[in-house]
Structure 1
Amino acid sequence: MWFILSLISIFFWSGSDFFSKLGSPAKDKDSHLKMLMVVGLVMGAHATSQVLFQGVSFTKEILIAYLPVSFLYISSMLLGYIGLRYIELSVSSPICNTSGAVAALLSFIFLKQVLALPQLFAILLILFAIYLLSYLQKKHEDAERKKMQEKVEDKYVNSFIAIFFPIFYCIIDGLGTFLDAVVLEKIPEASANVAYEYTFCTLAVCLFFYLVFVKKTKFSLPTEGPKFLAAVCETIGQFTYIYAIGANAVASAPLISSYCLFSVIWARIFLKEKLSKAQYFAIGLAVLGILILGFFEEG
C-alpha cells in the first residue's frame, strides 16, 4: 500500500510544484510568503475537517510531540522558496533533490528498515535519474540566462552560500522525513498529519497579519488562484505521504523525491516547454525504477 500512496504523493506534489511556479511571478517579491500563507490556510481547513467529521484524535501532547518534525518540514519548504527567489538557487539543485536518500540512509541505519536487492537497485536508479535531470535543468537555466545576457552576482554563483544552501536544504528535508518515521511509531498517522497542518496554519495566520498590516501587501485573486491549486495539491500529497512514510520510510522517501521529475512533465504538457533527449532519458530511468519498486513492493 505504501507504493500506491507514494505514487499519489508524487502526482499531487509535482502538481503543487507546477502551480507554485505559476503563482509566483517574478515581480511579486512577497510571492514566497503568500504561498506559505495559502498552503497553511488550506491545511488548517483540512485539519479541522478531519477532527470534526472524521473523528481524528488531536491533543496538545500530539502537537508538541510532532512539533520538531513540523518545524523541519516547514523550514525546508521555506528554504526552497527563499532559494528560488533570493539566492538564484532552487530545489531543482541536484543536491537538494537527494534529500530522500538522506532519509532512506538514516532509516536504514537507525530504524533497521531493509530493502530487497531489486528495490535497492530501483531506488538507486531513481536517485540517479533525479540527479541527472536536476543537473540538466540547472545547465539549461544557466544557458538561458547567458542567452538573455542576465548578470548574476558572483556571490550567488561561487560564494559559500551557493554551496552551503542546497546541502543545508537536503539535510533539513531528509532529517524531517527520518524523524517523521521515528515519531510515527508512537503517533497515529492521521493525528500526526493534523498536528502538522495546524502548526502550518498557525504560521499562515502570522504571515497574514504580517503581510496585510505590516507590509500592506495587496492581493489580486486572479494572480493568487494558482497558489490555491498548489496548496490543495500540497495538502493531498502530504496526507498520503505521511501514511507512506509510516509504512516504509526507507523505500518511499527516495521514491517520493522523484516528484521533481514529474513537475517537468506537467510543464511539458501545459506550458509546452521543450525537453531534450537527455531529459526524456532521465525521466525514463525514473519510471523504470518506479516500475521495479512496484513489482517488488512486497519484497
Structure 2
Amino acid sequence: MLWFFLLFSTSCWGIAEIFYKKGNVAHEPYSHLKTTVLVGVFFGIYSAVILFLTDVDIRYLPENFIRYLPVALCYILSMIFSYYGVRYIEESISDPIENTSCAFVPVMCAVFLHEKLSLSAILAIIVVVIGILGVGFFDKKGKADRRRAFGKKLAIISISMPFCYMILDAIGTFLDIYYTDDVETTLLVHVNEGNLEHTANCCYEFTFLLVAIGILIYLKAKGVRFFDVGEDESNAQNSQNKTFLQKLYAHRNKTLAAVFETGGQATYLFALSEGTGVAAVILGAGTVIISFVLSRFMLKEKLSAVQYLFIATIFAGIVTLSLLGV
C-alpha cells in the first residue's frame, strides 16, 4: 500500500498543478485568493476527518496550532504566491523552479544546524541552481510576451512568484524539521510517534481554513462577490440567476485543483506513517515531471529547446538529491 499511496499523491499533486494554471486566469483579479479559499475549505474538511479518525489530542490542539503557526504560514504564503504567478507565466516554467526548494533545505541545514553535505549533494545543488538560472535567462520570448500583454511591472512580478514560493517553501520545510523530525525534540506538546505528523497536519490545515475565512472577509469588505467572475473569459461576468452548482462549475478548475491537492495531502500522510521518507522525496520529484508533461499536452505550452535542456538539468538535480536522501 505504501507505493500506491506515494504514487497516488504524486499523481494528484501533478494534476492539481494543471488545474491551478487553468483556474487562475488573468481576467479574474482575485482568482489566486479564491483558489486559496477553496483549498482552505477542503483542507478544513479533511482536518476535521483526521481529528475524528486519529488519536490527535484535541485538548492541546489550540496550543500546538500557535506553536506550528510559523511553519504553516510559510507554506500557505508560498502557495498563494504560486497561484498568483501561474496567472501570467507558463506552468512548465514555474513548477520546476518552485520545486527546487528541496535543494536549498540541505544548504540551510548545513548553515544553521551545522549538518554536513556530501560532495555529491553539493554538486547536485549546483546543477539545480544552474538549471534555474538557465530557465530564467533564456525566457526571452516569454518575457517579451508578458511585457506586451501585462506591462513591464507585472511581468517582473509574475516571474518572481515561483522564486518567492521556492524560498518560503524551503524555509517552511526547514522549520518543519524542528516540529516533526523527532518526537523527543519537537516543539509540539503532548504528541507521540503515532500522532505527531497528524497533529502537525491538522494545525497546518486548520490554519489554511482560517486564512480562507480571512480572505472571504477581505473580499466582502472590498465588495467582491466570490462567484462574480468566472474562469471562462467569454462568460466571465454572467453569474446572475445561476444556481450554486452552476456558479461552482464556473470555478471548476479551482475546485478540482483543491480536490486533488487535498487528495494528495491525505494519501501522502498515510505513506509517511508507514515510513521510508526517502521514497516519499523521490516520488515527490515526480510531481514536477507529471505537471511538466501534462502542461505540454493539456495546456499546449511550448518552450525553447534550450529551456527544455535547463529544465531537464533541474530534474536531474532534484532526482539526484532525492536518491542521496538529502
- TM, length-normalised to structure 1: 0.74
Cα deviation code 1:22-47 (max 9, x no counterpart): 11222221211110000001111111
Matched, 1:227 2:254: yes
Of residues 213, 225, 229, the one that matches 1:216 is 225
CA drift at 1:114? 4.1
SS at match of 1:272: coil
Q: Distance in 2 between matches of 1:172 and 1:110?
A: 16
Q: Distance in 2 between matches of 1:179 and 1:52?
A: 27
Q: Distance in 2 between matches of 1:142 and 1:215?
A: 31
Q: Distance in 1 between matches of 2:47 and 2:252?
A: 21
Question: Does structure 1 conserve the Cα–Cα contact (< 8 Å) formed by 2:82 and 2:161?
Answer: no
Distance change (3 Å), C-alpha of 1:243 and 1:179:
farther
Partner AA of 1:72 in structure 2: C
Q: Distance in 1 between matches of 2:8 and 2:127?
A: 20
* 2:174 corresponding residue in structure 1: 178
CA drift at 1:117? 3.7
Q: Which residues of structure 2 form unaligned runs of 5+? A: 189-195, 229-246
**Identical counterparts, % of pairs:** 33
Partner AA of 2:211 in structure 1: L
Partner AA of 1:276 in structure 2: S
Question: Does structure 2 conserve the Cα–Cα contact (< 8 Å) formed by 1:126 and 1:258?
Answer: no
Question: Does structure 1 conserve the Cα–Cα contact (< 8 Å) formed by 2:101 and 2:169?
Answer: yes
CA drift at 1:179? 0.9
Q: Distance in 1 between matches of 2:314 and 2:146?
A: 28
Mapping for residues 102-117 of structure 1, pairs under 5 Å: 102-117=104-119
Matched, 1:199 2:207: yes
Partner AA of 1:139 in structure 2: K
SS at match of 2:206: helix
CA drift at 1:71? 1.6
Of residues 68, 75, 78, the one that matches 1:76 is 78
Question: Does structure 2 conserve the Cα–Cα contact (< 8 Å) formed by 1:97 and 1:130?
Answer: no
Q: Distance in 1 between matches of 2:309 and 2:321?
A: 19
* 1:20 corresponding residue in structure 2: 20
Q: Distance in 2 between matches of 1:9 and 1:131?
A: 29
Mapping for residues 242-253 of structure 1, pairs under 5 Å: 243=272, 252=281
CA drift at 1:199? 0.8
CA drift at 1:276? 3.5
Q: Distance in 2 between matches of 1:280 and 1:93?
A: 13
Question: Does structure 2 conserve the Cα–Cα contact (< 8 Å) formed by 1:69 and 1:180?
Answer: yes
Question: Does structure 2 conserve the Cα–Cα contact (< 8 Å) formed by 1:43 and 1:201?
Answer: yes
CA drift at 1:20? 0.8
Question: Does structure 1 conserve the Cα–Cα contact (< 8 Å) formed by 2:96 and 2:315?
Answer: no
Cα deviation code 1:264-290 (max 9, x no counterpart): 321112233334333432343344445
Question: Does structure 2 conserve the Cα–Cα contact (< 8 Å) formed by 1:44 and 1:197?
Answer: yes
Of residues 294, 305, 308, the one that matches 1:280 is 308
Partner AA of 1:26 in structure 2: A
Partner AA of 2:206 in structure 1: Y
SS at match of 2:81: helix
Which structure has the bigger radius of gyration?
Answer: 2
Question: Does structure 2 conserve the Cα–Cα contact (< 8 Å) formed by 1:103 and 1:174?
Answer: yes
Partner AA of 1:150 in structure 2: A
SS at match of 1:150: helix
- TM, length-normalised to structure 2: 0.69
Question: Does structure 1 conserve the Cα–Cα contact (< 8 Å) formed by 2:95 and 2:288?
Answer: no
SS at match of 2:169: helix
Task: State the Cα RMSD in Å.
Answer: 4.2
How many residues of Structure 1 are paired with residues of Structure 2 in the alignment?
Answer: 287
CA drift at 1:261? 5.8
Mapping for residues 130-149 of structure 1, pairs under 5 Å: 130-136=132-138, 138-145=139-146, 149=148
CA drift at 1:202? 1.4
Distance change (3 Å), C-alpha of 1:7 and 1:47:
same
Partner AA of 1:70 in structure 2: A
Q: Distance in 2 between matches of 1:151 and 1:203?
A: 28
Question: Does structure 1 conserve the Cα–Cα contact (< 8 Å) formed by 2:95 and 2:291?
Answer: no
Question: Does structure 1 conserve the Cα–Cα contact (< 8 Å) formed by 2:38 and 2:255?
Answer: yes
Partner AA of 1:30 in structure 2: Y
Q: Distance in 2 between matches of 1:89 and 1:265?
A: 13
Q: Distance in 2 between matches of 1:292 and 1:97?
A: 14
